[in-house]
A = this chain, B = another copy of it.
């Protein structure tokens, strides 16, 4: 696999945009210096595979920019996306060499990486790092469980609406807002990838988007751009808990 390793001096931690949200958040300055010395960056283009399920993965990383998808699949080709990594999210598992999911770059993406063995060492020496990682993992677990409710019990229309709500919330959070009315959402994935997230077929995704449009819940600008006239109405469609 091509490595795309940039010299680590290229980007300093103290100007890093994801510092407040990533694993390194909360680490004291002296520890940050250590992290800075060990990190290296890798970039991927949209569609590139970062790791295959079952392959060895000798690094862990934070998403600096872009979106990655975690997926599992059955031998017969059925695929389910099990996670969406956005800016600041953590990738990889300390203490495990083999990746349990396939990781694909959904958009162009940059990672801030550490060798796994080194990172495991750091975890034992830097409680702030370990605590932040625990916190992030617990958050991911909550997200995964919310998604289980969606996959197990929601209708196709509710699933689509839920995804749009999630993306809208993320997009607003990025600019430090709570979602108000009239939001524009950029779908960072194809219909097929959406279907694989929601446990649907791409045809059903297409039809339900059309139905939400027909019911004036959303406006479609081209294939990838969605405008939401009333966020409250969208939330109502999503059957929030």
Please report A residues at the B interface, Cβ cutoff 8 Å.
53, 70, 72-76, 78-80, 82-83, 93-96, 100-101, 123-124, 127, 130-131, 133-135, 137-138, 140-142, 144-149, 151-154, 198-199, 239, 241
Contact B134 A124 (CB under 8 A): no
Cβ contacts A to B, 28 pairs, < 8 Å: A53-B241, A70-B145, A72-B145, A74-B149, A74-B154, A74-B241, A75-B241, A78-B239, A80-B149, A80-B152, A82-B145, A93-B138, A94-B134, A96-B138, A100-B145, A130-B130, A130-B131, A130-B134, A134-B134, A137-B137, A137-B138, A140-B141, A144-B144, A144-B145, A151-B151, A151-B152, A151-B199, A152-B199
| Contact partners of A53 in chain B: CB under 8 A | 241
Contact B134 A83 (CB under 8 A): no
Contact B148 A73 (CB under 8 A): no
For this chain, the copies found in one complex come to 2
| Contact partners of A198 in chain B: CB under 8 A | 152
Q: In the complex, A73→B74 CA distance in Å?
A: 28
Contact B151 A148 (CB under 8 A): yes
Tell me how far the C-beta of A136 lies from the nearest C-beta in chain B, rounded to whole angstroms: 10
Q: Identify the 4 closest CB pairs spanning chains A and B, nearest first.
A: A152-B199, A151-B151, A82-B145, A144-B144
Q: In the complex, A137→B133 CA distance in Å?
A: 10
Q: In the complex, A199→B147 CA distance in Å?
A: 12
Q: In the complex, A238→B142 CA distance in Å?
A: 26
Q: In the complex, A141→B149 CA distance in Å?
A: 15
Tell me how far the C-beta of A15 lies from the nearest C-beta in chain B, rounded to whole angstroms: 29
Most buried by B among A75, A123, A149: A149
Complex: chain B residue closest to A133, CB-CB: B134
Contact A124 B124 (CB under 8 A): no
| Contact partners of A149 in chain B: CB under 8 A | 72-74, 80, 82
Q: In the complex, A135→B138 CA distance in Å?
A: 11
With A74-B153, A78-B153, A138-B93: A101-B199 Cβ-Cβ less than 8 Å: no
Tell me how far the C-beta of A86 lies from the nearest C-beta in chain B, rounded to whole angstroms: 17
Contact A95 B153 (CB under 8 A): no
Contact A153 B80 (CB under 8 A): yes
Q: Select A135's contact among B95, B101, B146, B239, beta carbons within 8 Å.
A: B95
